[in-house]
Amino acid sequence: MTAKAMNVAGIMSGTSADGIDVALVRIEPGNARPELTLLAHEGIAFPPALRNHVLAAMNATSTSAAELARLHWRLGIAYAEAVSATLKLHPLKLHLIGCHGQTLYHQPRATVYAARKFACTWQAGEAAVIAAAHGIPVVSNFRPADILVGGQGAPLVPLLDYTLFADATRGRVLQNIGGIANLTAIPAGAGPGRVIALDTGPGNMVIDALAQQLFGIAFDRDGALAAQGKVLEPELAAALRNPYFQLKPPRTTGREQFGREYAAALLEDCKRHNENPKDALATATALTAETIAQSYKQFILPRMKGGKNVRSAVDYIVSGGGARNRTLMAMLTQRLEPLGCTMASSEDFGLPAEAKEAAAFALLAWQTWHRLPGNVPSATGASRPAILGQVTYA
């Protein structure tokens, strides 16, 4: 199929379950890589009742088929409405929609269930609802095809990272801090086969959980409360001994590992040291910063080499909601600048911090529509490139 220019809407709602990001992207064929232009971006909060149902489903040890079916369709309605709200503010003719869906469960490693061993994943949100609402095809369910060729089904943003940020002379690390924090590393002059990616660990998820429990607020705006606290070093050191942080890439994680129960256990450890809630919040913030920095130092830094084995300059480009947390960003800068990194925001490169993941699923939908692979095997661990997703027609 000959690739053609299209206006594509990308839809993303992450593990924080705080809302929906919609990116309207113009994608055109290029000489070596597609050319992307971000036309508009909007963030739409989940209605409180819907967010409560999403969080309950993520944390449930058991639930009903009726609850999951209703949530699946209700999310489809929410995604369709989010695209409508975005188009109302930024009118244009859409040709295609890419929707990641809401991850309710992600098991990237094979385990035994009903006498068979397999990996699995589920992103909820009925694509037919979106297609019917807008009268155009929708690409969804991106992760399974990668899992079925030996990958972890994530991360899937590296294709966008490589397309937009690969550079002949500078190494680039694209650090997204959503509910979970993940990075894509692109050495200077690297082809896609040298791209490295991994989930570093918790991003905003644990910080937000403690902010809600301790202060009754959705999140610590600008990291202002954490800035008033003191990092509890023994509790931080204990948290860093979690076996996940020693796993080699490719690796992925989610709410199953760093969700409500994990946050509650960290809070209890902090309370045993003292009762200052701001210290607990500072410790959770330091946990995100330290696991990001350790992941970079342990797994990425040795591979970020330039020509003649000289370490290249590295731009460390941060996106996601965590980029707005000034305390977290200060902690990251303190840890990463001594390692030779120049800190930046995706906004410095023309891509708003909250738009990147939504734009990635616009690109992945465009790839799927043209029967082109969307995974980066060196990032996911897949045995080969795979065409991702399923197309739902209007």
Structural domain tally of the chain? 2
With beta carbons less than 8 A apart as the criterion, state whether 41 and 24 touch. Answer: yes
* End residue of a domain, out of 349, 368, 383: 349
Look at the pTM and tell me if it is higher than 0.75. Answer: yes
Closest CA to 9 of 104, 103, 85: 85
Give the bridge partners for 344, in sequence order: 317
| CATH code for position 17 | 3.30.420.40
pLDDT digits (tens, 9 = 90+) for 94-136: 999 999 999 999 998 899 999 999 999 999 999 999 999 999 9
* Residue with tokens 């000289």, as numbered in its chain: 310
Q: What is the pLDDT of residue 380?
A: 93
Note down the domain range covering 45.
6-155+355-392
Residue spans of the chain under pLDDT 70 = 305-312
pLDDT tens digits for range 163-204: 999 999 999 999 999 999 999 999 999 999 999 999 999 999
Note whether residue 1 is domain-resident.
Answer: no
3-class secondary-structure state, position 169: coil
Residues in the chain: 394
Cβ count within 10 A of residue 125: 28
Whether residue 263 lies inside any domain: the answer is: yes
Looking at the structure, do residues 170 and 118 belong to the same domain, yes or no?
Answer: no
Residues 136 and 239 in one domain: no
Strand 314-319 vs strand 341-345: parallel, antiparallel, or unpaired? parallel
Whether residue 227 contacts residue 327, with contact meaning beta carbons closer than 8 Å, is answered with yes
